[in-house]
Amino acid sequence: MNKYATRLRNGKDVAALLEADPRDFQVLSMPIDGVRFDRRMLELMDSDHDGRIRVAEVLGAIRFLLDRGVDLETLFAPDEADRTRLDELVKHQPPTPEPTKAQQAVWAAESILDRYFAVPEDLPLVMETPDRPLPLGADLNPRFAPAIRNLVEECGLADRTELKREDWAKLKAAHPHLPPAPKPDENEERILRYKLNLLELLQNFINMKKLYTKGEWAIFQTGTLRIAAREMRLCFHVDNVGAHAALADKSNCCVIYLALKRPGEGKERTICAVVTAGAISGLYVGRNGVFQDRDGQDWEAVVTKVVEAQVSLWEAFWSPWRKVGEGIADAVKKFMGDKQSKALGNVNQTNTANSGAALASSVAAIGIGIGMVGAAFASIMAAIGSLPAWKIALGVVMIVLLVSVPSMVLCWFKLRKRDLGAILNASGWAVNRPMRMSTLLAKSFTRVR
């Protein structure tokens, strides 16, 4: 964590961010998608509506509160009355009344009939002819006929032959336009949401305190993956596995990608999980597990891709020997396979009379080979047997250290360079400073059972 990790302790520390150098902030920009946070608050902060939150918008939220006389100390002790008021403001809005069919018919015909009954500006004070009504039974202009017929049907005018000016005025008065639905006071809503949630955002943007505090959740952590006797909490939302993996490879972390499904609901999504302790053995494409999101819902999970990297010194200690063992096993398998194929080939190529001799010859060749290996092994054992026990033990230890120590040293440097920031960058964040983790923290992120 950077030097601001311990500064967000009170309102003065928050206000001081306005004068701080943004180069010291942990994050420069973050998406409003793929995070578990108050989305409405992020939308209010997103002044340019581009789907991202930047430093200027974070600092703008702090200025907004200060300009309205809000004590920043309230960020550290949210008032339940504010939460109740926000619920009332947003959830208990009076519902917009649904218009009746008669209202809709009047509104649809309003512009047509208003033009029909419009009074010319040059009309004399006293007219020579009566005011002209609208004949409802006449042949109407096809362009306007549907609206007029709908008006007659919905407003109970079927028994009338005409519609007078005063009748039209009464119809409009009886079916007025509905007033717009009242909207919550945006400034009040903004103040309440900032007071309740801004501190959490700062602790994920300025210093990543939420990530580095044991038992807390960062807003980008999506849940817990249980797989291969492990429990992993560093799980991230992923949109494009290929693009994400290309950047995640620079993190020096072991990352596995998983496809999630809830078959009963037809839901699917993709995540990645960072393996920070234990070993990568047992984690392979096709391995099944269970993912529990932060709402407590379980998802079926299957590994689709693995970005390999050593995750512990113990794994690094045994890694060379595992490779040696795999190499020997492959060599023996190849040697025996070649001999068997040659022997079978000889049998197939000989006739019935000579097949016994050919088979005997092949078996003898294999026996000679095995005998040579056995003789060499016996010679080595004889040489070792002539040495004192302490020299034998010392020799074994020296060989083990000579092979394993370089692997452990290399792994130690790589573990120190693990950077979660590269994984967040792959998820669309603009991480400004490295995000390292201690061995103790790494074990808290991945618990091995």
Indicate the domain borders of the chain. Answer: 3-93+185-212, 101-174, 220-348+378-449
Residue 95's identity, in one-letter code, is P
122-136, 255-269, 295-309: lowest mean pLDDT where? 122-136
3-state secondary structure of 308: coil
The Cα 113–Cα 162 span in angstroms is 13
The pLDDT assigned to 449 comes to 78
The tens digit of pLDDT for each residue in 194-241 reads 999 999 999 999 999 999 998 899 999 999 999 999 999 999 999 999
CA-based nearest residue to 103, from 171, 179, 180, 182: 171
SS3 per-residue string spanning 8-52? CCCHHHHHHHHHCCHHHCCEEEEECCCCCCCHHHHHHHCCCCCCE
**C-beta of residue 309 within 8 angstroms of C-beta of residue 414:** yes
Average pLDDT over residues 158-172: 90
Confidence at residue 197, expressed as pLDDT on a 0 to 100 scale = 97
Q: Is the pLDDT of residue 3 over 60?
A: no
Report whether pLDDT(318) > 60.
no
C-alpha to C-alpha distance for 39 and 36, rounded to whole angstroms: 8
**366-382 mean pLDDT:** 58
What's the pLDDT at 384? 61
Residue 201 main-chain phi, psi, to 5 deg: -65, -45
* Average confidence (pLDDT) over 302-326: 71
Beta bridge partner(s), residue 307: 255
Q: What is the mean pLDDT of residues 313-334?
A: 62
pLDDT at position 220, please?
96
Query: Which among 3, 30, 29 is positioned nearest to 17, based on CA atoms?
Result: 3
| 280-to-202, 253, 323, 416 alpha-carbon distances in Å | 34, 11, 14, 18
User: Residue 282 has what pLDDT?
Assistant: 85
pLDDT value at 2 more than 50: no
In sign, the C-alpha dihedral spanning 22, 420, 237, 36 is negative
Query: In the prediction, which pLDDT does 132 show?
Result: 85
Is the backbone of residue 434 left (phi > 0), alpha (psi -120 to 50) or beta?
beta
338 or 89, higher pLDDT:
89
% residues pLDDT > 70 (the chain): 73
Task: Write down the residue that tokens 């002790």 correspond to.
Answer: 77
Name the DSSP letter for residue 258.
E
Other Cβ atoms less than 10 A from the Cβ of 168: the count is 20
Q: Rounded mean pLDDT of the chain?
A: 83
- Confidence (pLDDT) at 360: 55
| Residue 1: per-residue pLDDT | 43
Q: Which one-letter DSSP state was computed for residue 284?
A: -
Rounded distance between C-alpha atoms, residue 449 and residue 440, angstroms: 16
Q: Quick count: other Cβ atoms within 10 Å of Cβ 346?
A: 17
Highest mean pLDDT, choosing among 76-90, 128-142, 236-250, 292-306: 292-306
Report how far Cα 432 is from the mean position of its chain's Cα atoms: 20
pLDDT for residue 5? 45
How far is Cα 286 from Cα 223, in angstroms, rounded to an integer? 20
Nearest to 224 by CA among 286, 293, 281: 293
- The pLDDT of 347-372, averaged and rounded, is 54
Contacts of 279 (CB under 8 A, 6+ apart): 311, 312, 314, 315
What pLDDT score does 374 carry?
58
Comparison of pLDDT for 127 and 84, the residue scoring more = 84
pLDDT at 317: 54
